[in-house]
Amino acid sequence: MNQESLNRKARGLFVLFAAGLFAFGLGGALLLSPSAQALGGGDGGEGDYGKTLKEVTDKGYVQCGVSQGLPGFSNPDDAGNWSGIDVELCRAVATAIFNDPDKVQYSPLSAKVRFESLRSGEIDLLVRNTTWTFDRDVALGLEFVGVNYYDGQGFMVRKNLGVNSSQELNNVSVCTNTGTTTELNAADFFRANKLKYKIVAFEKSDEVVAAYDAGRCDVYTTDRSGLAAQRTKLSNPREHKVLPEIISKEPLGPVVRQGDEQWADLVRWVLNATIIAEELGLTSANIASHKNSDNPKIRRFVGSEGEFATALGLEDNAWAYNIIAKVGNYGEIYDRTVGPKTPLGLSRGDNALWTDGGILYAPPLR
Amino acid sequence: MVGLGQVFLLWLRENLFFSWRNGVLSVVVGGFLLWIIFLLGDWFFLSATWSGGIEDCRMRQDGACWPFVRVRFSQFVYGFYPSVERWRVNVVMFVFFTGIALLVWERTPWRGKIVLFMLCVFPLASWFLMRGGFFGLADVSTGRWGGFMLTLVLASVGIVTSLPFGILLALGRRAESLPFVKAFCVVFIEFWRGVPVITVLFATAFMLPLFMPASVNFDQLLRAMVGFILFSSAYMAEVVRGGLEGLQRGQYEASDALGMTYWQSRIRVILPQALKIMIPGILLTFIGLFKDTTLVLIIGLLDFLGMIQAGISDPRWGAPNVPFTGYAFAAVVYFCFCYSMSLYARHIEKKFSAGRDRRH
Amino acid sequence: MSEAVDHPYRERRGVLRGLWASRKGRGLIYQVLLFSVLLLLILILVSNAFYNMEQRGLKAGFGFLNRTAGFGIVQSLVSYEETSTYGRAFVVALLNTILVASIGVVLATMLGFVIGVMRLSPNWMIARIATIYVETFRNIPLLLQILFWYVAILKPLPAPIDLFQQGESFFLSFNNRGLVFATPLPQAGFSLVLWALSLAVLASIAWSWYARRRQLQKGDQLPVLWPCLAGIVGLPFAVFLLLGLPLDFVPPVMARFTYEGGSTVVIEFFALLWALVIYTAAFIADIVRAGIQGIPYGQSEAAYSLGLKRTQTLKLVTIPQALRIIIPPLTSQYLNLTKNSSLAAAIAYPDLVSVFAGTALSQTGRAIEIMFMTLSVYLSLSLLTSLAMNIYQRRTQLVER
């Protein structure tokens, strides 16, 4: 290849690039101009009603924001499939819409970007062990639609320190995660009890575990579900214990964008359906045999009586039936993700039905 | 054999024991090196768990836990890319590495054409192939891309797109007769070079959606790419500037004297020569970019290191040596890639400087 | 422009064409185009931002800086409580960043020069280990190295509970919480010691200036380093002794779990500093090597034939000349170190990105304001470093003349 033809090629390349740049600029300017905003219909308010469900049905899957790897809540397994109690809720929503729990795509999100991802429309639903707080619900343009796990912040310490109550924790150094409510809760707790502490806040849980395991901190604080999960990773889990007190309320729940009440209702009632099913004793194994039940509550639930789909924008009146048949009721989901037989080994506690001493209580389906 | 032994002894005396102080130093330093090698070898191989599962790893906490890497290997490479569609990634990676190998081997015919193909056709083609959604290819959204493949995508996109931008910026920075263009280029370059990569990624992840109209939806990958392109363009501009300044003034003057216009002289005379000098610099920028991709996990993308971290957080693999194994594996992989690239960069540099010396 | 007017045939083709025909005119068109495109882009982006913020119910403004932060920070150079403001948290975080970056720059330069010189050592083993060092640490991502060094430093260190009995007080300790030492409390008269120190520093500057002038005039070398050091250390110390030790120490006391009181430099600081120094020194070493190799060997030969030893040759002949080659890339390494200190969030060192762009941002949600402040800080740090190095470089060039 001689120099001349190389030069010609280089020039051709450059002209091509310049043309591309020009087109890019023109297209970008058009796309970015405020008039495009009006076309996009992002004018909020009533215009958003039903928008999310329509988009979801059009693209054929639910885009679900989950954590980047929190055991029991959302975590990729060896085969790359996501599992966990948050993931199951995403699957339940997909089942209600498409009658297929696998029509979900997961967006692993860091704690920092999760709300922006939801607000910008990148995801349809955020189920990322997110605590329902006033500020987030009211001031951030978000809508919390329920609670899928009642958690509370706790403390883990070495057994050989001989601590029995969190009130004894004076002059301690505390390891925790940054960018979440955990850090502030800990600060509030120690200040309220006039205890001295030093907080060491890490970006990722794995580093918190490593530091705590190496003795950097006397105390590890995070949600108790998290403590249960991280404890399995310590070099000697039996030498550590979780203190009985809970220092904060952490109702973790699914979040949607403010403005689309239909979508909020849909997610809320998918969650409620899993709880109601447990109340009614419906499981994935037995629900098929209840299809022709005489109990009006069950008849309404499986969709043989009443009209519960169209108001939510759904087509299949048996959407709740599908959820239980394909994903399971709340108890089943709990047991296979965080329950006593999993590595986390968490008993139901507050997350038991209200009839069993817990606080799970769903409004009636009628 | 005796002769060889004597040569060896002579070599030892000349290079290690030429004074008693150096002799002691050699022994101490050599011992230290051996000790480190032994420690690493013990952890990586001798005390490591090679088969079994997590229980075996918990039993032997003083060594690496290789079953973890073996079980998760395909995730580390492909992320959540659906397993039936992975052939597409394989095709892209095969073409990528073959192209690179062909370019590295100096006697390959049509190297210029291959460069053009790798820079222009290949990135677009592979993007569409991996993304899918046409001709019956299943649509694989970028949210499912991950692992080593994502690392390669991010670094390559950064380099390929930053090259033209970098050239324009560098030319603009040297355009003394255009004060506004020059000022813009200087500010742009110095701004993106002056702020940490992590904050750039953070800013694009956080603020890009705020600056975009509601109808435009950038996914996470695109946002990260915007960040990478912005700052790698700035770095590339400095590499190009170095190349332009490395040329002798005579080249500029000669092309002016021939009556060439600005663009004629730049495209026909200056850039072809400058680009050659710049290859080592471009490679070093690529190495930097390749290492910097590890930071995308902060904005929620699961690249190679991110996938490893996600694997570590799995409670079924809860043992203290699992994180170390994951990180050590990552370190070895990153080292192999970066080191081979820097070796190649040095080789090219040597070749060019040899060529230049001959001319004098 | 006048060019175009001089040639009437160009006027016929219209003003724009006329402009395009001259080199200057084309330049003008380029500039106007770039300016208008930029202006348009900025206008669009800003209007979008306002629109989106309003849509999402987000507020703007720097008022949040006066609100109570409510979170703790493990290490602060100025006093900080949970009740302090976000503005205060910003200052604390900024100082932590500056602390690790400035110490890191000094140590990395020292280590980098040592390794760089080692790579050129005639001793094969020394040269080899320096090469291994450079190649290993340059080619592994810094984030991985930080994570590694953190655990590697933390693991072997004992916990305070293993070192001290409850109620025991101690003066100095390096444990897995960090470097813990008794807090010095200056008593009345301590300011005199500080005055003595300033005096000694001024005297040292004057002495070295005089010594240099004398060397230029008469050629003989006066001792500079040792007298100055003696003055700077000795004078304040003598004043301190004469005043009867006007300094109290408040020692840390071991409580039930960990110590109470005293001053602490957290262990994360050392881990981050170590990782940054090791990583950056690898790059500096290569720059130093290239710089020294860029000096013709004849310079060293000439120095040897004058009877200078290898270390003297390096110090007096080779490195001063190599500095001209070394300084520009060295500056960008300093900037890199400063920027890389933002990886501190990974190991909980409370730097600017970790505290301010991390915790404060997620508490307040003020992304634009906080990112603006954070980016400005790094930019100004970069500009300051560049400025300082430019001044230094100009000085070395003057000396060379």
> C351: which 2 tokens?
């730097």
| HSE of C328, CA atoms in CB hemisphere, 13 A | 6
> Which positions in chain B touch C35 (Cβ < 8 Å)?
180
Predicted confidence at residue A232, as pLDDT, reads 82
Q: Which domain holds residue B309?
A: 71-359
Q: Model's pTM, two decimal places?
A: 0.86
From A232, which residue of chain B is nearest by alpha-carbon distance? B318
Using CB atoms, which residue from C151, C374, C383 is nearest to B199? C374
Average pLDDT over residues A180-197: 89
Q: How far is the alpha carbon of A208 from chain B, nearest alpha carbon, in Å?
A: 12
Predicted confidence at residue A169, as pLDDT, reads 92
Residue B53: exposed, middle, or buried by beta-carbon count in 10 A (0-12, 13-18, 19+)? middle
Task: Please state the domain count of chain B.
Answer: 1
In the predicted structure, residue A1 carries a pLDDT above the cut 60: no
HEC string of B220-285 equals HHHHHHHHHHHHHHHHHHHHHHHHHHHCCHHHHHHHHHCCCCHHHHHHHHHHHHHHHHHHHHHHHH
Q: How far is the alpha carbon of C357 from chain A, nearest alpha carbon, in Å?
A: 10
Average pLDDT over residues A317-332: 94
A187 to C354: CB separation less than 8 angstroms, yes or no: no
Predicted confidence at residue A334, as pLDDT, reads 96
Predicted confidence at residue A14, as pLDDT, reads 52
> C5: which 2 tokens?
């007017």
B177 to C342: CB separation less than 8 angstroms, yes or no: no
Instruction: List Cβ<8 Å contacts ≥24 apart for A92-95.
Output: A92/A270, A92/A271, A92/A273, A92/A274, A92/A323, A92/A327, A93/A62, A93/A64, A93/A125, A93/A266, A93/A267, A93/A270, A94/A61, A94/A62, A95/A319, A95/A322, A95/A323, A95/A326, A95/A327
CA distance A26 to A17: 14
Q: How far is the alpha carbon of B222 from chain C, nearest alpha carbon, in Å?
A: 18
Ranges of H-type helices in C66-220: 86-119, 124-138, 142-154, 160-163, 190-218
B15 to C45: CB separation less than 8 angstroms, yes or no: no
Amino acid, single-letter form, for residue C206? A
pLDDT band for position A6 (cuts 50, 70, 90): very low
In a domain, B145, yes or no: yes
| HSE of B209, CA atoms in CB hemisphere, 13 A | 24
From A37, which residue of chain B is nearest by alpha-carbon distance? B213
Name the residue with higher pLDDT: A100 or B221: A100
Using CB atoms, which residue from A3, A31, A205 is nearest to B313? A205
In a domain, B20, yes or no: no
Predicted confidence at residue A327, as pLDDT, reads 95
In a domain, B140, yes or no: yes
Pick out chain B residues at pLDDT < 70. 1-2, 214-217, 354-360
- Count the helix, strand and coil residues of chain C and give each as a percent rounded to the nearest 5: 70, 5, 20
Pick out chain C residues at pLDDT < 50. 1-11, 398, 400-401
> B90: which 2 tokens?
């394989």
Quote the percentage of chain A above a pLDDT of 70. 87
Using CB atoms, which residue from A161, A175, A199 is nearest to C72? A199
Mutate to test the interface with B, among A206, A209, A213, A227 (most CBs of B within 10 A): A206
Residue C259 at interface with chain A, using a CB cutoff of 8 Å: yes
Q: What is the mean pLDDT of chain B?
A: 85
> Which positions in chain C touch A170 (Cβ < 8 Å)?
255-257
CA distance C168 to C160: 11
Average pLDDT over residues A30-50: 51
* Residues in A 100-129 with any Cβ partner in C closer than 8 A: 111-112, 115-116, 119
Helical pair C124-138 and B20-41, crossing angle rounded to 10 deg = 40
B342 to C139: CB separation less than 8 angstroms, yes or no: yes
Cα-Cα-Cα-Cα torsion A285, A289, A295, A301, nearest 10 degrees, comes to 60
Predicted confidence at residue A301, as pLDDT, reads 92
Cα-Cα-Cα-Cα torsion B268, B271, B276, B279, nearest 10 degrees, comes to -150
Q: What is the mean pLDDT of chain A?
A: 85
Domains of chain A, first to last: 47-148+253-356 (3.40.190.10), 151-250 (3.40.190.10)
Beta bridge partners of C18: none
Of the candidates B263, B289, B331, the one whose C-alpha atom is nearest the C-alpha of residue B69 is B331
Strands A62-67 and A104-109: parallel
Subunit partners of chain B (3 or more CB pairs within 8 A)? A, C
The 10s digit of each residue's pLDDT in A247-306 is 999 999 999 998 899 999 999 999 999 999 999 999 999 999 998 888 999 999 998 888
B178 to C379: CB separation less than 8 angstroms, yes or no: no
> Which positions in chain B touch C45 (Cβ < 8 Å)?
211
> Which positions in chain A touch C348 (Cβ < 8 Å)?
175, 178, 200-203, 207, 211
Subunit partners of chain C (3 or more CB pairs within 8 A)? A, B
pLDDT band for position A143 (cuts 50, 70, 90): very high
A68 to B112: CB separation less than 8 angstroms, yes or no: no
Residue C210 at interface with chain A, using a CB cutoff of 8 Å: no
Q: In chain C, where are the structural domains located?
A: 2-52, 86-157+267-400
Q: How far is the alpha carbon of B26 from chain A, nearest alpha carbon, in Å?
A: 35
pLDDT band for position A319 (cuts 50, 70, 90): very high
Beta strands in chain A (DSSP E): 62-67, 75-76, 82-83, 104-109, 125-126, 142-144, 149-158, 172-177, 197-202, 219-223, 240-242, 248-252, 255-257
Residue in the block written with tokens 């009614």:
A280
> Which positions in chain B touch A121 (Cβ < 8 Å)?
214, 217
Using CB atoms, which residue from A6, A75, A116 is nearest to B206? A116
B209 to C367: CB separation less than 8 angstroms, yes or no: no
Using CB atoms, which residue from A141, A186, A196 is nearest to C56? A141
Which CATH number covers residue B150? Answer: 1.10.3720.10
Strands A255-257 and A240-242: unpaired
ipTM here:
0.87
Residue B8 at interface with chain C, using a CB cutoff of 8 Å: no
**What element of type H or E holds C303?**
helix C297-305
Mutate to test the interface with B, among C59, C125, C362 (most CBs of B within 10 A): C125
pLDDT band for position A180 (cuts 50, 70, 90): confident
Cα-Cα-Cα-Cα torsion C179, C185, C190, C193, nearest 10 degrees, comes to 0
Report whether C319 contacts C239 (CB < 8 A).
Answer: no
- Number of cross-chain residue pairs from A and B with Cβ atoms under 8 Å apart: 158
Amino acid, single-letter form, for residue C364? T
Residue C248 at interface with chain A, using a CB cutoff of 8 Å: no
Q: How many other CB atoms sit within 10 Å of the CB of residue B98?
A: 11
Predicted confidence at residue B7, as pLDDT, reads 86
> B72: which 2 tokens?
């998760």
C52 to B210: CB separation less than 8 angstroms, yes or no: yes
CA distance C134 to C123: 17
Look up the CATH superfamily of C86-157+267-400: MetI-like (1.10.3720.10)
| HSE of B159, CA atoms in CB hemisphere, 13 A | 22
In a domain, B61, yes or no: no
Q: How many other CB atoms sit within 10 Å of the CB of residue A151?
A: 24
Using CB atoms, which residue from B272, B306, B318 is nearest to A343? B318
Q: How many other CB atoms sit within 10 Å of the CB of residue C366?
A: 21
> Which positions in chain B touch A108 (Cβ < 8 Å)?
300, 302, 310
Using CB atoms, which residue from C140, C332, C382 is nearest to B335? C140
Using CB atoms, which residue from A204, A210, A232 is nearest to B318? A232
